[in-house]
Amino acid sequence: MAAPHRVVLIGPECTGKTTLARGLAAALGAPWTPEAARLVAEASLAPLSAATVEPIATLAIALDDAARATAAPCLVHDTDLVSTVVYTRHYYGDCPGWIVDEARARRADRYLLCLPDLPWLGDGVRDRPGARHELFRAFLEALDTIGARPALVSGTGAGRLAAARAALGGRGTR
């Protein structure tokens, strides 16, 4: 059995990753996994903290493993461990080494890096509208560090989905 082609939507907060992941998965007939950090944030009464980093990473790994077990030819992830690394460094200064190592070991086949060209909308979890360009650069650096060459995705609505599909160049499709 061939390993699935893993596509990850990644980027700063409020760049349309979740909407795009859902739309891309539907267009490709592929399963998708939600963002682990959001699941942890929504399940907790306390805000995210350095203490939640490892549970977020562990959940991201579990979601990826469960998706891989479906034997689907293509998987779409709403972020992965690279996001955990970038945000952990951004908020807390450093990231546990095992998470960095796992991010490298679990590098996806294709990263679609969403540009911060959509309006920022607060939702109780998002909290850094002024840091989106700084985070975008941090994502570029983190992806470069693990040897990933992301495709940049911009635009709105159906145009953003079309850009994401075009970036796949026919890979991961049915």
pLDDT at 135 over 80: yes
Tell me how far CA of residue 37 lies from CA of 41, 42, 124, 134, 148, in angstroms.
Answer: 6, 9, 13, 19, 22
Distance CA 168, CA 141 (A): 21
pTM of the model: 0.93
Task: Find all residues with CB under 8 Å of 145, minimum gap 6, and list them.
Answer: 104
86-118 tens-digit pLDDT: 999 999 999 999 999 999 999 999 999 999 999
- 8 Å CB contact between 162 and 40: no
Q: Which residue has the higher pLDDT, 143 or 2?
A: 143
Count CB atoms within 10 A of the CB of residue 163: 18
Distance CA 97, CA 88 (A): 11
Count CB atoms within 10 A of the CB of residue 127: 12
Q: Which amino acid is at 33?
A: T
* Average pLDDT of the chain to the nearest whole number: 92
Distance CA 26, CA 73 (A): 14
Q: What percentage of residues in the chain have a pLDDT greater than 90? A: 83
12-40 tens-digit pLDDT: 999 999 999 999 999 999 999 999 999 99
Q: What pLDDT was estimated at residue 3?
A: 83
| Domains of the chain and CATH, by start | 5-168 (3.40.50.300)
Task: Find all residues with CB under 8 Å of 62, minimum gap 6, and list them.
Answer: none
